[in-house]
Amino acid sequence: MPTLELKLMGLTCNGCVNKVTEALMMNEAVESVEVSQDTASITGNLTADQAIEIIEGLGFEAEE
């Protein structure tokens, strides 16, 4: 499965990290996720645009 790497902005604590992780894992196309305050590594069939939309919907910023 492909792995997508995104740069994250606006995450300031572990609560933010958990919020992003849980939101991404709810998507059926996602196999696994590793999130820090600065990056997200997403394995699965999710496109960058889809992942960014999920993250931005939580109030954070993301880019490839």
Per-residue pLDDT tens over the stretch 19-64: 999 999 999 999 999 999 999 999 999 999 999 999 999 999 999 9
**What per-residue confidence (pLDDT) applies to 48?**
96
Q: Domain span at residue 21? A: 3-63
Q: Token pair of 42, please?
A: 């997403």
Whose tokens are 């499965």? That residue is: 1
**What per-residue confidence (pLDDT) applies to 42?**
98
Q: Token pair of 59, please?
A: 């109030």
Q: Token pair of 14, please?
A: 């572990």
Question: The domain spanning residue 35 has which CATH number?
Answer: 3.30.70.100
Domain count, the chain: 1
The strand order across the sheet containing 30-35 reads 30-35, 39-44, 3-9, 61-63
pTM equals: 0.94
